[in-house]
């Protein structure tokens, strides 16, 4: 499927989703950062089989579809739920998952935090458990460290870290800045929600925007964990 061009977000940055919606919901800001930035391993070892008989050891991202069209990616977190950007799903309450194996099909928005441009999806058949997702705090990376944009084993783009913590707005609202992981350009239109992995395949961020030429922006895993603290792990 041919991807559409990214959408302008202001400040020379581009949103990467195929659908851009106004962020009409507001919520309280996420809690303060946990002390220190250290790698953290998510629950769930590499699994073959299980209740569904599916090998999900390599599953980190899925495709998110609305109205029959893939609009973004979604990244699996340890709890078996899926996080994806709010700016592409907008006010939709239900989406369709692809590339999720036995969990393909409808998924419902179970928590919406458009103030930090994220929402959580739960597949109709329940969380994707057990899984082999491993998460690392982005703050433990250093400039120059290798990363990659990951949408599947055959759809990945290598890059490097530029900054592990840069405060900026990519949604056109300069009053609402976020702390973001900045990497070399690894993205194109439709890549919102793809996982950013470190050199060992651990999730360090959720891809959301970029300038289309030199850099890509990701919400760091610390923010994902803080925002969905009660739903992050099983």
194-225: per-residue pLDDT in tens?
999 999 999 999 999 988 899 999 999 999 99
> Average model confidence (pLDDT) for the chain?
81
What is d(CA 38, CA 55) in angstroms, rounded to the nearest whole number?
29
Supply the pTM of this predicted model: 0.80
In the chain the domains, ranked by start, together with CATH numbers, are: 10-19+133-227 (2.40.10.10), 45-123 (2.40.10.10)
Whether 56 shows a pLDDT value over 70: the answer reads no
66-111: per-residue pLDDT in tens?
989 999 999 999 999 999 999 999 899 999 999 999 999 999 999 9
pLDDT at 43: 33
Confidence class for position 172, pLDDT limits 50, 70, 90: confident
- Stretch 136-149: mean pLDDT, rounded? 98
pLDDT at 169: 87
- Stretch 154-165: mean pLDDT, rounded? 96
- Stretch 5-18: mean pLDDT, rounded? 49
């Amino acid at each position: 499927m041919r991807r559409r061009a990214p959408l302008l977000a202001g400040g020379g940055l581009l949103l990467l989703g195929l659908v851009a919606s106004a962020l009409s919901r507001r919520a309280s800001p996420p809690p303060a950062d946990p002390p220190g930035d250290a790698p953290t391993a998510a629950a769930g070892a590499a699994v073959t089989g299980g209740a569904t008989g599916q090998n999900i050891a390599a599953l980190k991202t899925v495709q998110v579809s609305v109205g029959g069209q893939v609009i973004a990616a979604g990244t699996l977190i340890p709890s078996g739920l899926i996080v994806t950007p709010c700016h592409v799903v907008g006010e939709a309450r239900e989406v369709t998952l692809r590339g999720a194996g036995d969990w393909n099909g409808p998924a419902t928005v179970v928590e919406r935090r458009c103030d930090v441009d994220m929402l959580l999806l739960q597949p109709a058949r329940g969380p994707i458990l057990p899984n082999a997702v491993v998460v690392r705090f982005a703050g433990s990376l250093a400039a120059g460290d290798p990363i990659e944009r990951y949408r599947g084993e055959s759809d990945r783009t290598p890059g490097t870290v530029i900054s592990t913590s840069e405060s900026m707005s990519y949604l056109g609202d300069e009053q609402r800045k976020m702390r973001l992981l900045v990497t070399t350009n690894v993205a194109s239109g439709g890549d919102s929600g793809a996982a950013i992995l470190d050199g060992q395949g651990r999730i360090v961020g959720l891809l959301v925007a970029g300038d289309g030429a030199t850099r890509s922006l990701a919400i760091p895993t610390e923010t994902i964990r803080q925002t969905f603290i009660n739903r992050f792990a099983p």
